[in-house]
Amino acid sequence: MDAQLARLDVDAASLRHDRADATADDEHDPEGSTLSGEWQRVEALRHAASSEREEVLAALARVEAGTYGICVRCGQPIPPARLEARPMATMCVACASAVS
Ligand SMILES: [Zn+2]
């Protein structure tokens, strides 16, 4: 569990770093840029980083609530191997495949 928590911290820290880089792009004026395609790509990346950050924050909230590693659908523990592969997983393999 400690190793998983440390990994979440690392993920959150790297995402914060990514967000800091994205924020720096606010210095640019999108209206004055001729690289509109590049700008759209940056916006898409920023959106992806934002939603992933929410997953990390949700996972950290679940750690605080003591529900991290518990499937939100069936209430069974999520296998450690799955959490290792997907630290932000909220459902066990069976439930995740059932809802997707
Ligand atoms: Zn489940």
6 CA → ligand 1 middle, Å = 24
For the stretch 23-71, pLDDT in tens is 555 555 555 545 678 888 888 888 888 888 888 899 999 999 999 999 9
Has this prediction a pTM greater than 0.85? Answer: no
User: In terms of pLDDT, which residue wins out, 72 or 9?
Assistant: 72
Q: What's the one-letter identity of residue 100? A: S
Contact between 56 and 49 under an 8 Å Cβ cutoff? The reply is: no
Residues with CB under 5 A from ligand 1 (ion): 71, 73-74, 92, 95
95 CA → ligand 1 middle, Å = 4
Is the torsion defined by CA of 62, 18, 46, 30 positive or negative? positive
- Helix/strand/coil percent split, the chain, to 5: 70, 0, 25
Q: What is the rounded distance in angstroms from the CA atom of residue 90 to the CA atom of residue 85?
A: 12
Contact between 93 and 100 under an 8 Å Cβ cutoff? The reply is: no
